[in-house]
Amino acid sequence: MKLLLASIACSLTLAAQQRPDIIGQIVGTQKATIAIPDLRGAGRASEQMNILNATLWRDIEDAAIFKMAPKSMYALRIPQQPQDFRKPLQYDPNNRNAAPWLQDWSDPPVNADFLAFGYAAEQEGKLVLFGWLFNVRQPDITSAQVIGKLYTATLDEAGARKVAHEFATDILRQFGVESLAGSKVYFVSNRSGTKEIWSMDYDGAGQKQVTSYKSITTMPSISPDGTRLAFTSWTPNGPQILVHSLETMRRIPFYNPRAGTNQNASYTPDGKMMAFSSSASGFSQIYLANADGSNLRRVTQTRAVEVEPKVNPKTGGEVVFVSGRGGSPQVYKMNIEGADVQRLTTGEGQATNPSWNPQGTHIAFAWTRGYDPGNFNIFVMDVATGNYVQLTSGAGRNENPSWAPDGKHIVFASDRGGRMQIWSMLADGSQLRQLTSSGINEKPVWSK
């Protein structure tokens, strides 16, 4: 069984490595098929099953390593626990009176490789989920079981999400994949009356306000360890960089150079330094400083606006940024000391909002060229080769992409529905989901 799982995980990795196009490199192509019938709940647990089932399905689907077997193809005989399976003397898929069996799921029309099933109940006022994952290609129950586990939580919507996330996380770990559950998206929203930083779960649940400066507070950035939030807020001295502890929610000292504008903070991978843009020299230029603002030094030396520095999260030695040194804003790359400057985009249109993927190999960015010229759309580029693909088109203004911790998903802002909202998608442009709907929401950042 372990060899089979390792083989599938290996084949997924090799497929991603060998596919020549950059989308194949990021998302992968070869996928096992999984069936996830709706779990049933007993007693008061039944009230939470809609949210539990929806969360479980979404967590697995969003991981993008499985082909999801359509529910319309599922077998009529759905097990709730392993004891429900009975191996027939002679398998007959048309015998509706027979007990469930593995071939109900591995044979057409389901054609699944894996089956996730179980049930929920109320025990001592708590929600209890019994979850199993079976490899239905195996010949018997003993060899088929991959996971058999009990999960507990509060008997409410939050508890239903919790046990579903935990079950999904255990499933994904069998294939060497970490779930997005637990990751956070920080973003800017005006729903409280002024622009403030908000946070939410990766799937849009649990939206809450983080800052309360009653000013323009924007451009969030999270330290690599997820403990600090840096952002730009309009103060009596103009736009300045402020830092908060996400553990205590208190402000952490940060020295801003004397300038009309300090903005666009970006941490180095070790969290000890920060790159940002400042107009201390007149034009906005890229600066580097310690995480508290000390040991400040100027990195770029042009008479053009240079903003949005993003430090390579893998190497820490490269920075992508936006510069108008060639005329219109374009995305450039340099080493962290300002040398070896290279323009990454072609010079056409306007290119802004670069964001490194966690592996430090690709960037997502917004560009006004392509199949919807004049509107900003999301592109992904392989930095080493310069090859790029367009992910959005014909759907309004799309900007400020940010990569998920898994390196396969992107969160971004779009006004395709009339007002700017936060959306997520797989890094091939599929699995598009709207995450916010209240107020105007923009500039998302995905954090572990």
The structural domains of the chain, with segments of one domain joined by +, span: 31-173, 184-447
The CA angle 373-378-380, to the nearest 5 degrees, is 115
DSSP string, 297-346: EE----SS-EEEEEE-TTTSSEEEEEE-TTSS-EEEEEETTS-S-EE-S-
Whether the predicted pLDDT of 20 surpasses 90: no
How many CB atoms are closer than 10 A to CB 432? Answer: 14
CATH superfamily to which 31-173 belongs: TolB, N-terminal domain (3.40.50.10070)
**Quick one: pLDDT at residue 87?**
84
What confidence tens digit (pLDDT) does each residue in 220-265 have?
999 999 999 999 999 988 899 999 999 999 999 999 999 999 999 9
What confidence tens digit (pLDDT) does each residue in 102-145 have?
999 999 999 999 999 999 999 999 999 999 999 999 999 999 99
**Quick one: pLDDT at residue 29?**
59
CA distances from 37 to 77, 99, 210, 275 (A): 10, 16, 37, 48
Label residue 77 by pLDDT band (50, 70, 90). Answer: confident
**Quick one: pLDDT at residue 251?**
95
Mean pLDDT taken over the chain = 91
Whether the predicted pLDDT of 88 surpasses 70: yes
Give Rg (Cα) of the chain. 24
Label residue 69 by pLDDT band (50, 70, 90). Answer: very high
**Quick one: pLDDT at residue 50?**
97
Strands across the sheet containing 262-267:
262-267, 273-278, 285-290, 297-298
Q: Which residues contact 239 (CB under 8 A, 6 or more apart)?
A: 216, 232, 233, 260, 261, 262, 263
CATH code, residues 184-447: 2.120.10.30
How are beta strands 306-311 and 318-323 bridged, if at all? antiparallel
User: Across the strands, what pairs with 12?
Assistant: none
Of the ranges 53-57, 280-284, 373-377, which one carries the lowest mean pLDDT score? 373-377
**Quick one: pLDDT at residue 178?**
87
Q: Which residues contact 38 (CB under 8 A, 6 or more apart)?
A: 49, 53, 71
Report CA torsion sign: 323, 327, 380, 169. Answer: positive
Label residue 370 by pLDDT band (50, 70, 90). Answer: confident
The amino acid sitting at 55 is T
